[in-house]
Structures are given as structure tokens and as C-alpha cells.
Structure 1
Amino acid sequence: MRAVLIHSSSSSSSSSAISPQTPAPHHHLHRQSRPSKTSLPRQLPVPPPHPVSAAHPHPHSTFRWDNLSPPPLAPDLRSSADVASRIAGDGRLEELPAIMDGVIESGPEASRFLTALNMDMVEMGLCRGLREGKLWSFIEVLRRFEKLGVEPMKLVGKNVVSLVGRECRRLLECGDIRGLVQVMETLSGFQFPIRELVKPFEVIRVCIDQRSPVLAVRYACTLPHAQILFCSIMNDFGKKGDLVSALKAYEALKQTTIGPNMFVYRTIIDVCGFCEDSVKSRYIYEDLLNQKVTPNIYVFNSLMNVNAHDLTYTLHIYNDMRNLNVKADMASYNILLKACCLAGRVDLARDIYREVQDLESAGALKLDVFTYSTIIKVFADAKMWQMALKTKDDMLSAGVTPNTVTWSSLISACANAGLVEQSIQLYEEMLQAGCEPNSQCCNTLLHACVEACQYDRAFRLVQAWKDSNTSKTLSGDRESITEEVLETEETSESSLSSPQHISPLHHASFLKTFRFAPTITTYNILMKACGTDFFRAKALMEEMRSVGLTPNQISWSILIDVCGGSGNVEGAVQILKSMRVAKVKPDVIAYTTAIKVCVESKRLKLAFSLFDEMKRCQVQPNLVTYNTLLRAHSRYGSLDEVQQCLAIYQDMRKAGYKSNDYYLKQLIEEWCEGVIQGNNRKMQEYTLSEETELSGSQSLLLEKVAVNLQKSVAESLAVDLQGLTKVEARIVVLAVLRMIKENYIFGNSVQDDISIILGVSKPNANRNPEVKDAVIRLLQDELGLEVLVVGPKLERTPASSPIEMESSTRRPAILQRLKVRKKSLHQWLQRRAFAPRK
């Protein structure tokens, strides 16, 4: 018996074995025949284990097997120990908990059961059961030993831990993340080395892939340094754009005993910024204030940064920070300057910059490169290049070295103001300062040249960059590079619009070695510099593909514009079709560019067909598209053209765009006045004298014309002139008559009279007869039509009769109308229809 006790305290294997014997039947062995109610399937959750001290507070819960001299063991306990050892040795872990439950119920004698167990066979059985995949049975066995007062970790060795880790990895590979988390929670109660079983980041990754934020939080709670894992969980969800899951993880964390800290608050606010949902970050901040939690400076900075697009709210947070006695740091002021930059508030940015300078003078802060770069960008966006250069001088005086972002903003400030020479000089200063330019900086420089129409200069700059990199790599000879630059200038094409040239000294600063890979934007800018040279632009697109870049929609649009500029309209339209072959869907810019090419070449039918194709492909036109089409006609020659343009005008209004309607009104007025022949001088004098009346109602006029021109001559024509001036009423009436005339030429005769609604007429009301008189003069004097004034006669009633007065107030409003008879219209059409058009 002593030997058994020695074996039980060691993890080494033993050669001794318990010979099988048939025990006498008693009540403990009868419990073994019942199904085990504690052997659970893997999928079912296992409740967390109870602490050892709570389950067994009595003294025998802790003992030393090696120093124990036990009293004689009862026969029934000895039999149970023998059976338990034999079952454990066979790996039948699912049967072992039932036997141990019977021993546990025996009370104080239960501890003596442990002295009779062959612990070597128990450990061998645990390993065998784990190899057979009986992980949950293994957990139940550990749970029973814990109830007997034995710490589970004293029963297992390195082999058992390794096998448990293998089973956990199997659950992870099968995607059973719920079962794995349940196992981890249970084993953590047994003080298992959870981190050694599986790699934490792999479990977190599967939780994120399965969108299981709650399980990820539960798993993180089983590990030390859980706060770092919580931040990683929320951050990874944010990178996937899954803000909902990140917020669920945040709420689940708040329910745990660990709870969030400032680092967690900052992370979830940053995640709101990743997912572009600043409103959620504001709710989180309000929740912190409601919980009487004062955020630290890092949380405030993250909140302001996420809401930097809203300057008002950013300033509100800044004031809250000051009211809560949280001292702002340099990052806080940088974010405020960023918000001013996004809002275009140069005045406020200048005030903040001065405040920061005062703090620096007092020794409270030290301006960094980000502060200077941000304020320079503010001035650059506002085209205040003098202030940007002055800020650079302040920066150098303070001993702060400009970085690539700073130089790029300075170059952009001068480029936006059209100062190409100043931009080149700043670029040279950057290289002399040892700062390596990036693609954005070089693209800004090229864009400045193109905007100034210095196309050849842009190509020479790119060629100089290529030659300097190649020559420096091959030989590093400065003189040879300068000669190559000279040859480039001599062999390059002459400037298209500017006689300015760059001397070799300008290129000397480009000779430094730097890694600059051209981007799609670089090639797009160079394609713009091709002007009308289609073949050169096409070669640039091919070169773009050869360096591994894929032309985007802007590249194709530029190629369409260059092709159209060379006069090849069909080629420009064909490029639009080639975009689909290249699996690039034409966007509104590509379609608008092709439409502009057609309009400039007077291919109006093709332009409108492209517009119809654009709508069929569900590409929404923009304001440039509409204005391009509305200005396509210098005059209208047919009803179809007018109806087509008015339909586009109405579509533009429905899309929410507003444009200058005066040009379209003039064209329609000219088309309408074409009804009157041989009287152009009178028409021009009449309209020009009344032009001031049209200052604010072109939209109403065009809507009235559009509605009336959509009617068919076969239906009853009613022309509504309410709300129009006399000049506008004249245009609407002439538009209807022009429509009737056009349709009559194609064989569609008038089927009814024309009813012209002038407005509401009330008894004893002073009416303005200008519209009525102008329309009658137009129809009778200028067109020779018969006009009838239509309206019921009002009967006079005694004013003293209260009943009659009451009835008169209930009388409906009467519309004052004019009518042109069908017979008169036919006579007019026979005289006018086939006359020459104006």
C-alpha cells in the first residue's frame, strides 16, 4: 500500500498493475451500472467548476500522500478504488465519474479512496482517453477529483497538457469555436495553462471570421492581459468594417468583471472612425459622462479626430476637455488645426496657430512637424501661398526640419496659385535638404505644369527623373547625367504653349537618388499634357500597363477627350465601348466627356443617344452632363429638338440640380417667335423691353412650356398662363402654336378649340389686364386668329339682402379664359404651315 502512495505522487509510469478481480456486490458497485449523467457531449456547455475551498471546507481536503499513514481501508472503498483504477487504465473515462460520485457521497471516508487508487494508471487512462477524443469526459473526471479535494493540475503532466492542446486545436480547425470557448473557460478554472493550448490570436481570428464578438470576449477573459486582447478584438472588427460586432464586443466587455479601461474606450472610438460612423463615437462619449467617467487626453483626442469633419462638435469636445481640467497636448491642437483645414476656416486655424506659438514661448508646448505641416496645408488649400512660405520660415527658425508632407504642402500651395517657377524652386530646396520626394509631391509638380499649359516641361521633368535614376544606378557620374538631361531637352518636343525652358542647373538637383515609382495619377497627368496628340496618350496608357498599373476610369476619360480633341469623334465613342471590354465600367465622367466631344463636333444626335445609353446603364448624369446637352443647340429647328431639351431640363430639375435657365429660355423664345414671319424687328424690340420681367421666373416659364408641349393635338388643349408675365405668356402661347404648326405639317390636324386660362376672376376685384391684352394682341393683330373672351355673366343682386350676400361668398372662383376656335386655327394653319421657317 505504501508503494501505491509513492506512485500516486509521481508522474512517472509504473510497471506494477492491478490484477483483475471480481468484487463482492454492494451498493457502490451498483451505481456503476447506471448511465453516467455527468458524461456530457462536446457541444453542450459545461458549468464553471466550483472552487476547491468552497466545495470541501473540511480539513481532509488538503493532505500529503507521501507522509500519510492511513488506517485500514474499508472493503467497499478498496473495491471501488480497484475498479476505478482498472476503468481508468482502459481509457473508459466516461464511466469513471459515476464511480467517483458514489465515493464522494460517502463523506469523510472519500479521502481514503485516493490512497487506494493507482495514479499511474489514472494518468495513463487520461492520456488514452484524450487520444480517443474524450475531451469532455476528461473534464468531468477532473471535476470529480476537484470535489475530492485534489487540485486537477497535480494529476496531469506534460503529456496530458499536450494532448489537451491537440484536442483544442482540433476544435479550432473544425470551426467549433463555441465548444472551444466552453472548454477554455472550464480549464481556466482548473488553473490550466490556457495560453499554451492554442495560440490566442488564432482563436481571436476565427471568432472574428465567424462574427462572434461575445465568444471572443469570453475567450479573452480566460487569459492574462485580457485588456490588450479586448482592444485587438474591437480593432480587428473595425478593420473589417464590422462596427456592429465591435460594439457588441464592447458591450459584452462592460458586462464582465474585468470591465473596460481608457485604452478600451479609445480603441472603440477609433473603430467608429475606421467605420466612418462618428455618431456612434458621440454616444459612447455621452455614456462615459453619464457614468461619471472622466476620459483622459488620449480618449478626447481620438474623439476629436473621429469627428474632425464637424468643426462645431470638435470645438465642443475641446471645451468639455478644458472644463474637465484635462490638459490639451500637442496632438489636441494638431487635430483642431486638421478640423479647421477640413472646414476651410483659415481665420480660426490662424488663431489656434498663434495660441500654440504663445504656449511654446511660455514653455508649455513644443510645436512639432505635424503642427507646421497642418497649418501650411490650411494655407495651401486657401491658395495663401505667402502665408505658407512664412510658416515654413517660422518652422526653420524653430529648428524643426520639414518632412515630405511639409514640402508637398508647400509645393501644392504655389501650384494652386499657378506659380510653377516657385513650385520648382521649392522642389529643389527639398532635394537639397535631403528630403526624398514621394509620388504625391511629384504629381503635384506635374499638375502645376499642366494647369499652366506647360506640357513639354512636364514631360522633361519626368524624363529627367527617369534618366537620373537610371544613370545614377549604372555609373553615378554627375556629368554624364547632366549631358543626358541636355539631350533630353534638345530632343524633346517644343513647348505647346509656353516659351519657358528649364536650364541644366534646374535639373542638377534631380540627380539625387530617390525611390519614386510613378502612379496612375502620374500617367493621367501626363496624358492630359498630350493635348490633342492621341497616339502619344495611347502610348502612355500602354506604358502604364507595362509597369503593372491598371488604367482607371479617369485614364479612359482623358483618352476619350484627347481623341475627340483630335477630331476623331467615332474613335472617342469607340474608346467608350473599349472600356467595357477592358472590364472598366464607364462612369459619369467618361460619358460626359464623350457627350462633350460630340457636342463640340456638332454631332448632336450622337450626343443625345449617348445620354440615353447612359440612363439605360443606370449612370446618373451630373450638372456638367445636363448643361453640356442643354447648350448643344445654338437654335432649335424642330419640335422634337425642343421637346428633347425640355425633357432633359425637367430630368435635371427632378435630380435636384439648378442651372442658369436664361440661355435655354432665349432659344425657346426664338423658336416660338418663328411662328410670326416677317416681323422679326418688332419681336426683338418687344422682348428686349420686357427682359427685366424674366429675372426670377425662367424656371416657371420653362416648366409651363414643357408641360404644354407634351400634350397631343388630338386632345383638348388648355394653356395655363397663371403666374406668368405678359412676355412669358406670349412665349407659352407661341410654343403651343408652333407645336400645332409642326404637327399639322406631318398630317395631324387640330381636333378641338384652344382654351387659354388667364387666371381667377373675382367680383368687384381690380384685375391687371396686361397679360390678357398682350395675348389678345398677339393672337388677333399679329397672327390673325379669332379670339373669344369666355366667362359667365355675373348677375347683380341687391346688397341689402343678407341671403344673397351669403350665397355670393360661397360662389366658386371663376377662371377668366380666352378661346381660339378650331375653324380659325385651320384657316391660320393653311396660310402659315408651309411658309419658310425662321
Structure 2
Amino acid sequence: MRDALSILASSTVIPPSGTPLRHRRHPIPSATAKPRPKLNPKHKSKFSTSTSPLFSSRLDNKQSLTYYTELASNLVQDGRFEDFLIVAETVVASGVKPLEFLGLLNKHNVASGVGRVLGKGNVNSVELLFSGVMKLGIEPVQLFDGAAMESLREECRRFLKCGAVEQLVSLVEMLAGFQFLIKELVEPSDVINLCIKKRNPMAAIRYAQNFPHAEMLFCSIIHEFGKKRDLASALTAFEASKQNLSSPNMHACRTIIDVCGLCGNYLKSRAIFEELLADNITPNAYVFNSLMNVNAHDFNYTRDIYKKMEKLGVTADITTYNILLKSCRLAAKVELAQDIYREIRKLEAKGALKLDVFTYSTMIKVFADAKMWRLALEIKEDMVSSGVTPNTVTWSSLISACANVGLLEQASKLFDEMLQAGCQPNSQCFNILLHACVEACQFDRAFRLFQCWKESGFQQTITDGNLKNSDEFVQEDQMRVPMRPYSHFTVRVPFRPTTSTYNILIKACGTDYYRAQALMDEMRTLGLSPDQVSWSTLLDVCGASGNIAGIVPILRSMHETGIQPDVITYTTAIKICVEHKKPTFAFTLFAQMLRYQIKPNLVTYNTILRARSRYRSLKQVQKCLYVYQHMRKAGYKPNDYYLKQLIEEWSEGVIQKELRNKGSFASHTTDSGPHTLLLEKVAEHLQDGNSESLSIDLRGLTKVEARIVVLAVLRKIKEKYRAGIPIKEDVSIILGLPGVHAHVSKEESEVKEAVVRLLQHDLGLQVYEADSRTGIDITRDKGVLEGSSSTRESEAPTRRPVVLHRLKLTGESLHHWLQRKMCAKHGNHLHQRMPSNLDS
């Protein structure tokens, strides 16, 4: 009572003039009076007419009732919900019927107060208000008339517009609990789309649970998250749907499997299917079809699912067979596809099912991919005889079947038949026909067709049987064509090129780089964005025209337009550099790839390594060896043959030309050892960090491989000498470890003989056999060339250290050899400059 009196005392409402003065003054309650407890909607009111004689006397007349209802309206408008409930409860407790009190309330004030509190995000206060009026026997929805309900809708739309998804869902949950028609407050699809946009699956789940058709909303939520490629949120919604529903929802199962396909996680789709079987749930045909479609790339798995479908007694429909045909097409199993096609034709003859346009179109694609164009045309005849009208996909597949085998005229004829049939061609049809022209090297024809379509479109003749389709087509293109009952009429259809269209035409430019660049500019003018294929094709044209300098501007333009060059783009550029004998530029592009964290593929590595005839300098060989090692670290199995040939040819360059022409040593015909060890040895000796190392390790190599390693080091020394780096120290050549009795093995003896013959006989260098224990050089005679060797006096086996067999190449001998090479080179240049009459 004290609370009620304080409310009345602080109210700005003036009591009616007819009320006695004693009624305006409120007696102060005694100290022994119990304080008024706060309103709890879960308990009955403690106010009664017997304890409130003051209010009982006031409410005996209608004027007093109006006064207090007006007071309550002002309180709720100010957002003072607790005070409003105290007054309302006291009025009802005095004997006033709830509906009578409700009829006198100002509904506009109620809506205004609720909106003000909701604007502050305080949904709990509104829930307290609604709970309180329910305890009084008033339904909260009765507080809102038509205008007040519109205000509540505006508040929901405001939450939706500002993206306050949590506040909106909480409000909807609260209103649904008080029997509000929440579907009329805000469009459910708008709320779900907001939850999808905010990546908030829990809010979407909470919202969907308030509707009787929650299972349909759950499927929509799962599908929308799948379109955003958000598989985790879609799975969260799927698990919530299983807990919210008493029985399995096959529609939700089918939807989540489709989403797994959209997100590229086919293994998860299999796991969901296995969970259904583990729970003894038999999926329907739609779930089986979705699972087969998602896994169509795996023919064996798709076939197993089909067999399991038969085992469980689930009847296959035409969609099932269409997916089987699709799987056969992806696996290139033409004969099996023909068997399935014959089987379903028999089922159709029995009336078990009816083949649709997808069946025929898929079968045509099977033959088109296999370049069986005659069989594809036979399927088209079966299709027409069955009364099934070919659609755009069917015609595109037929045109592609002829274009794939170079039958340009037949493809053009099918295109004309498509127009005569009244079927609207799409951009793919145009592109297939243009691509057929390019593949047939009829570049001028491709450009003529393109120019003709672009300027005047193409004319499509519509007959009476195609009036319905033509009407839709005319409306789509916003062309006004009189729909009079003529037997036929002509519609001019505008041509809309795509990025793929321009990619085909850029390829048709051949070596005309400027024309290709003009097409790129025209593409941008039409609002089309060049893709990776566009830029890679432009690079091809640039290389074909010999414009190597244009590669860098093209790559720079790609970065400026926001397109990161991929591995195909860089591989194309590297291939151009290799073909035009620009190996340094090719290695620069390879390094740029790694700098941008673009992983080279097998084609990239092979493009560089196979161009062995282009690499002649030490730096180029070192970079080639680096590419080789990078390839091995990347997990690719390199083909050592090309790189080994490079090393052989580059190393043999130190031998005089006349000796090579005589065939004094043909290493590639006698070598049978592993290439990997050889290449690792060469790479070790040619590293820049080993420039001061004068030790050549030949252990584990055959005589041919040892020769290559020695020649590679000599060529490195030769190129450094030309650069001004002299050689003064001796070079140590490690042959290997002897046996227990310090005898030279047969393989080591052959390596030694080959190396000594190379150094002394072919190059004229001085080589000695060195004792690694004492460092004393022992000069050998011709017996060295014959493989003979003298042994030192034996020592006790327990005191003998490990002995390495070495040869030593003197620095003085190397110095004289390098000088002779330089003089011979300068002499040849001088001889070439002499006039021809001086030769006599």
C-alpha cells in the first residue's frame, strides 16, 4: 500500500474535481504496517478490497476508474512497468474486471512505452510487464490494437535493419512465449538471412524453434549456410534439428549432404550416411540420390551406394540412374554408361519409369567427352522419338560433340537447328562454336562470327509450337514483338559475350599481340574482368610474337588489377623465356614464384630442367641444380636424365672440340650408376660457398660419374679464372677407402685409371698419388696410367690409421693449363679478325 500511495503522490495526473479533498490526501501508513512486496507474477496478488478501503471507495464511481487507468497508461508510457503493474493489480483487486480495465487503457501509450524500453535493448523488462498482466487475467497480445501492433512490427524491423540479431531473436522468443503471431511481425526469411550474414547459427536455431514448421526452417538454414560455404555452421544447425525433432528428418539429411558437396567435403557426407545406418534408419531415395551425386566423382563408391540402395529395398528413380550416368561420364566409362542406358530404356518400355531430358543430355555428354559424335546424334534421335524436347544443355552437348573432333560445319549445322527449334542459346553455345573455329585454325571465321553477333545479334525463327517459349524469351530481353497468330516470326536476340568468349578470341590472335591487347581493353569496357586464363593466354600471344619484354608489364598489370598470378601463369612465362633462349629471365621468374609463395608444379620444374641446351654458364648450371634440389624437397620425383645430360655436356666443354668429335669418351653410353648421387656431388662442388674448397670427393661414384664431377670442377675453376680469380693451390682428389689389407678395389682402380687418363692424357695436367697419412707426394711413372701401384712397408694392423686413397693435381699445372686455354681463345679471336688474304 505504501508503494501505491507513493506512486499516486508522485503522479502528475490531477484527480477529478468532484472528488472530495480528503480523497486527495493519502493517510500515512502506521509503523506497524508491512511494506508492499515487489510484484511477482508467479504468485497471486496480496492486495484485496478488504485491505484497501480507500481504493474501494474511489473506484465506486466511473470517474475515479478513469482517473487510475489514465495514471496506469502514463506510467507504462514512461517505461515504469513495475509501477504500472502495482496500480493495475490494485485496481483489479478492488473488484474491477480485467477486461474493463483493459478497455480504458491507452493502447498508444502502451506501444510507446514498450518501444521505448525495447529501444534500450531491455527485453527482460517487457517480459516482466507481459508476465504481470497475464497474472491479472489479461493476455499480453490484448494490450496491442492494430496501430500498437504496427509499432511493434516497426521495432522488429528496426532491429533487423541495424543488424541486432541477438536482440531481435530474444524479442521474438519472448513474444512467441506470449502467443504473439511472430510471423506477422517480421518475415522469417529476413531473420534467417541476417543470422546467415552474421555467421550466427545459434541465433538462427533459436529463431526457428519458435515456429511449428521448424523442420522446414532448419533445412533452409542448413542450405543457406552451405551456399556461404560455411560447413561448420550448417552442421551445427543439422545437429540442432536432430535434437529438436522427435523423428529423423530426411529432408534435413538430404540438405546437409548436398551442403557437404557444395563445400567439397564428400567424406563428411559419407560419415553422415553411415550414422543413419548405424541408428537403424533407412534413408529414402532422395537421401541416396544426394549422396551419390556428391560422390559422383568416385564411381566405385557411387556404384556401391546404388547396390546398398537395392539391398535395403529403396526403389531407384530416374534421378538415381541419371547420377549413375553422370558418374560414368566423369570416370570415362563409356561402355558401362551404354549398359545403364539400355537398362533404363527397358524399364521405360515396361512403364516403370520415364526418361527425362537430363537422362538424354547426360548420355550425349558421355559420347561428347569420348569424341563419339555419331552416337551422340543417335541419342538425340532417340530423344526426339520419345517426345522429349532438347533443351539448351542438350544442344550445347551436341555442338560440343562435333566441335571436339574438329567437325566445324556439323557443329554450325546443329547450331542452326537449335535456332530453328526455338531454343534459346546461351553463352556456352556461342563459346563452343567459337572454340571450334579456333581449334580448326579458322581464326578469321571466329572473328567474323563474333563481330556479326555483337553488332546485329542472331535471328531466331519461332513457330506456332514454340509461342510459349518465345513469349518468355521476348519478355526476358525486353523486346516488343507482336504476338499475332502467325505461323512463324523472327526474333532478333542480342549477343552477350562473356569472359570465356574473349579468352577464346585472344587465343585466336596467334602472334598478333596488339590485337590481343585490344580485346583485353574491350573486355574491360563491357564491364568484364579478365581472369587467370585471360592473362595466361595473353602471355602466350606475347611469347608467340617474340615480345619477351612484354612479360613483365603483363605480370605487373595482373597485380595492379588485383589478380595474383598462379602457377599456370608463371609456368607459361617461364616456358616463353626458355623457348626464346632467355634462361636468366626464366630463373628470375622462378625465384619470383617462390617469393610470392606460389608452389611450382611438375610442369614448372620440367620446363626449366628440360631446357638443358640453353644453359652454358656456371651461374645457370648452379641455378638449374638449385631447381633440381627444390623439386626433390617439394616431393616430386625428378627425371635425372635431362639434368645429367646438362651436367655431362657442360662438363665436357673443358675438353678440346677435336677430342670430343673423335669420340674419345662417350659417358652416356657406358654409365649405369644412379644419377641422384652424381647430381648431389656436382651440386656440392658447384655451390658458391665451396669456391675455396680444393678437394674433390669421388667416393661411391662410377668411373663415368667421377669423370663428370672432375670435369665440372675444372670448368668451374676455368670460369672463375676468366673472372680474375687465380688458382695457386693443389687440388686433392679423394678416390675412396681401401679394404682391410689396404688393397685398392676393382671399382676404385677403374675410377683412378679414368681420372688419371682424363687429367694427364686428355688435358695435359700433372697428377700425383698422395699418401694422406704423411702428406708426402710420391711421383708415379706410366704405371699409374696402367692402374699399377706400389705399396709402402706394412705396419702393425693395430697401429695403422684409416687411409684415404688420393690423387693430387698441382696448382702450378692448373695455372699453366688455364693460361694455355686463354691464349688459345684469344688466338682464335685474333685469327678470326685477320683478313682472308693474309692466310696465304
> TM-score of the superposition, structure 1-length normalised?
0.77
More deviation, 324-333/376-385: 376-385
Q: 1:721 aligns with which of 686, 698, 704?
A: 698
What amino acid sits opposite 2:75 in the alignment?
Answer: G
The CA distance in 1 between the partners of 2:801 and 2:299, in whole Å, is 55
1:433 maps to what in 2?
421
1:104-253 aligned at under 5 Å gives the runs 114=97, 118-122=101-105, 124=107, 126-127=110-111, 129-130=113-114, 132-133=116-117, 136-154=124-142, 156-253=144-241
2:767 maps to what in 1?
786
Q: 1:352 aligns with which of 325, 340, 354?
A: 340
- Greater RCO (Cα-Cα under 8 Å, separation 6 or more): 1
Secondary structure of 1:518 counterpart: coil
The CA distance in 2 between the partners of 1:269 and 1:17, in whole Å, is 75
Q: 1:398 aligns with which of 375, 386, 393?
A: 386
Instruction: Note if 1:836 corresponds to 2:825.
Output: yes
What amino acid sits opposite 1:744 in the alignment?
Answer: Y
Secondary structure of 1:133 counterpart: helix
1:65 maps to what in 2?
none
What amino acid sits opposite 1:654 in the alignment?
Answer: K
Q: 1:650 aligns with which of 608, 625, 629?
A: 629
2:719 maps to what in 1?
742
- Deviations 1:639-688 (CA, angstroms, capped at 9, x unpaired): 22322333333334434445544344333312211222255347735316
Asked if the contact 2:406/2:439 (under 8 Å) is kept, the reply is: yes
The CA distance in 2 between the partners of 1:31 and 1:311, in whole Å, is 82
2:681 maps to what in 1?
704
The CA distance in 2 between the partners of 1:298 and 1:828, in whole Å, is 83
RMSD of equivalent CA atoms: 4.2
1:680 maps to what in 2?
659
Asked if the contact 1:455/1:529 (under 8 Å) is kept, the reply is: yes
Asked if the contact 1:411/1:427 (under 8 Å) is kept, the reply is: yes
1:668 maps to what in 2?
647
Shift of 1:582: 5.0
CA 1:77–1:266 in 2, change beyond 3 Å: closer, same or farther?
farther
Instruction: Note if 1:520 corresponds to 2:499.
Output: yes
1:328 maps to what in 2?
316
The CA distance in 2 between the partners of 1:350 and 1:719, in whole Å, is 65
Shift of 1:331: 0.9
The CA distance in 1 between the partners of 2:699 and 2:371, in whole Å, is 49
CA 1:186–1:565 in 2, change beyond 3 Å: closer, same or farther?
closer
Instruction: Note if 1:315 corresponds to 2:303.
Output: yes
2:671 maps to what in 1?
693
Shift of 1:335: 1.5
Secondary structure of 1:634 counterpart: helix
Instruction: Note if 1:95 corresponds to 2:82.
Output: yes
Q: 1:419 aligns with which of 399, 402, 407?
A: 407
- Deviations 1:282-307 (CA, angstroms, capped at 9, x unpaired): 23222222332221111121122222
Secondary structure of 1:788 counterpart: strand
The CA distance in 2 between the partners of 1:823 and 1:814, in whole Å, is 26
The CA distance in 1 between the partners of 2:810 and 2:230, in whole Å, is 70
> TM-score of the superposition, structure 2-length normalised?
0.77
Asked if the contact 1:560/1:594 (under 8 Å) is kept, the reply is: yes
Secondary structure of 2:696 counterpart: strand
The CA distance in 1 between the partners of 2:537 and 2:637, in whole Å, is 27
The CA distance in 2 between the partners of 1:303 and 1:100, in whole Å, is 63
Secondary structure of 2:457 counterpart: helix
What amino acid sits opposite 2:751 in the alignment?
Answer: V
CA 1:433–1:728 in 2, change beyond 3 Å: closer, same or farther?
farther
Instruction: Note if 1:306 corresponds to 2:294.
Output: yes
Q: 1:529 aligns with which of 500, 508, 511?
A: 508
CA 1:175–1:683 in 2, change beyond 3 Å: closer, same or farther?
same
Shift of 1:269: 1.9
The CA distance in 2 between the partners of 1:400 and 1:117, in whole Å, is 70
Instruction: Note if 1:561 corresponds to 2:540.
Output: yes
The CA distance in 2 between the partners of 1:400 and 1:814, in whole Å, is 88
Shift of 1:270: 1.8
Asked if the contact 1:715/1:752 (under 8 Å) is kept, the reply is: no
Secondary structure of 1:91 counterpart: helix
1:76 maps to what in 2?
52
Secondary structure of 2:654 counterpart: coil
The CA distance in 1 between the partners of 2:646 and 2:116, in whole Å, is 89
What amino acid sits opposite 1:741 in the alignment?
Answer: K
The CA distance in 2 between the partners of 1:296 and 1:218, in whole Å, is 28
Asked if the contact 2:446/2:505 (under 8 Å) is kept, the reply is: yes
Asked if the contact 1:716/1:752 (under 8 Å) is kept, the reply is: no
What amino acid sits opposite 2:102 in the alignment?
Answer: M
CA 1:33–1:356 in 2, change beyond 3 Å: closer, same or farther?
same
1:748-787 aligned at under 5 Å gives the runs 748-750=725-727, 752-759=729-736, 761-763=738-740, 767-768=746-747, 769-783=749-763, 784-787=765-768
Asked if the contact 1:84/1:117 (under 8 Å) is kept, the reply is: no
The CA distance in 1 between the partners of 2:503 and 2:702, in whole Å, is 51
Q: 2:530 aligns with which of 544, 551, 554?
A: 551
Secondary structure of 1:90 counterpart: helix
What amino acid sits opposite 1:306 in the alignment?
Answer: V
What amino acid sits opposite 2:334 in the alignment?
Answer: V
- Deviations 1:766-792 (CA, angstroms, capped at 9, x unpaired): 753433432333234333331426577
Asked if the contact 1:635/1:671 (under 8 Å) is kept, the reply is: no
Asked if the contact 2:453/2:494 (under 8 Å) is kept, the reply is: no
The CA distance in 2 between the partners of 1:17 and 1:150, in whole Å, is 31
- Deviations 1:396-437 (CA, angstroms, capped at 9, x unpaired): 343333222222222222322233333333333333433332
What amino acid sits opposite 2:750 in the alignment?
Answer: E
The CA distance in 1 between the partners of 2:808 and 2:33, in whole Å, is 113
Asked if the contact 1:28/1:103 (under 8 Å) is kept, the reply is: no
CA 1:467–1:177 in 2, change beyond 3 Å: closer, same or farther?
closer
Asked if the contact 1:630/1:645 (under 8 Å) is kept, the reply is: yes
Shift of 1:439: 1.7
Secondary structure of 1:665 counterpart: helix
CA 1:402–1:661 in 2, change beyond 3 Å: closer, same or farther?
farther
- Deviations 1:298-348 (CA, angstroms, capped at 9, x unpaired): 112112222223333323332332222111111112122222322333344
Q: Percent identity?
A: 53
Shift of 1:709: 0.9
Instruction: Note if 1:639 corresponds to 2:631.
Output: no
CA 1:31–1:285 in 2, change beyond 3 Å: closer, same or farther?
farther
The CA distance in 2 between the partners of 1:30 and 1:85, in whole Å, is 26
Runs of 5+ unmatched residues, structure 1 = 1-14, 39-48, 61-71, 474-510, 799-803
Secondary structure of 2:75 counterpart: coil
- Deviations 1:690-724 (CA, angstroms, capped at 9, x unpaired): 52635x84444333322221155653344343454
Asked if the contact 1:561/1:572 (under 8 Å) is kept, the reply is: no
| Pairs aligned (count) | 743
Shift of 1:828: 4.2
- Deviations 1:518-555 (CA, angstroms, capped at 9, x unpaired): 22222222222222233433333333334332333433
The CA distance in 2 between the partners of 1:657 and 1:836, in whole Å, is 42
Secondary structure of 2:103 counterpart: helix
CA 1:466–1:772 in 2, change beyond 3 Å: closer, same or farther?
same
1:733 maps to what in 2?
710
CA 1:665–1:229 in 2, change beyond 3 Å: closer, same or farther?
same
Shift of 1:225: 1.9
Secondary structure of 1:198 counterpart: coil
